[in-house]
Amino acid sequence: MINYSLIEVFGVWQNNIGQWYDERELWNVFALIVEKVTGEYPRSESDLKGREVEEFANKTFNEYLFRLKQFEPVQYILEEAHFYGYDFFVNKDVLIPRPETEELVHWVLSDYKGQEASVLDIGTGSGCIPITIKKEAPQMKVSAYDVSVPALNVAMQNAKDLDAAVSFSKVDILSIDRDLKERWGVVVSNPPYILEKEMKEMRENVIDFEPHLALFVENDDPLIFYRHIARFSKVHLNDGGALYFECNTYNATEVAQMLDKEGFRSVEMRKDMQGKDRMVKAIWYFH
């Protein structure tokens, strides 16, 4: 039985894919793989000293390395993404949860701390938004919509795995039943917002693997989902209810202006941790 030094394995990774990652990013990816294979997370390269893996484990490292060389995201390889302290199952049917979306969730939770509001997430994907809200604020009644059945299957699996009582429904927000009577105190959404023309500027790990249905909008109507969700919210928010959006940093101002024109009040934009306009909140009043 041949044993392989983890430091040497890491050196192979540096030689093969180091040109595509900065040093910190490559280490983070490798450390996640080490944890998956060995059960122990190395915090630095020094943690690898003296550690070896057997031949079958080294084959697993090589298989993962091959997939990374095809630009497959590590989250899809591991079928796991970390979000707000929770581990979510992910596959190619859903977007990988992003840190910016954690900030959106934090805004909702901060505003409604201890309150018994009802929440609807539109375009739920993996379910990271509604499940996290339910876990952090169990007093809330939480629902979620998505047009994709495979995405809903992932979200429902995550709700089961994380023991979160969230109600999921297949709904196309662009052609929703106008007879729906239900109302919510909060509507939150991270809708598709990347213009098709931006596709050429994006990395292969996004373009080739993440679902385009959840990413892109046509160039000639970039606010289509925001507008439909805003008009839906005017009918289905409680008086004084709040609408929260994650936005493309290039269209946050347009989203805020659209909400103002639609009659929402207290329209507010927020920046993400990188200082980019990324989130918009607005309040709906009946009069």
CATH level 2 (architecture), domain 81-284: 3-Layer(aba) Sandwich (3.40)
Amino acid 194: pLDDT: 60
Q: What digits encode the pLDDT tens for the residues 119-131? A: 999 999 999 999 9
Q: Please name the residue ranges forming H helices in 128-181.
A: 128-136, 149-161
Instruction: State mean pLDDT over 194-209.
Output: 52
Q: What digits encode the pLDDT tens for the residues 72-81? A: 889 989 999 9
Amino acid 58: pLDDT: 82
What percent of the chain stands above pLDDT 90? 59
Confidence of residue 165 (pLDDT cuts 50, 70, 90): very high
* Domain range summary for the chain, segments of one domain joined by +: 3-69, 81-284
3-class secondary structure, 81: strand
Q: Is residue 151 scored above 90 in pLDDT?
A: yes
Amino acid 44: pLDDT: 87
| Distance in angstroms (rounded) separating the CA atoms of residues 275 and 256 | 17
Please check whether residue 126 is in contact with residue 191, taking contact to mean a CB–CB distance below 8 angstroms: no
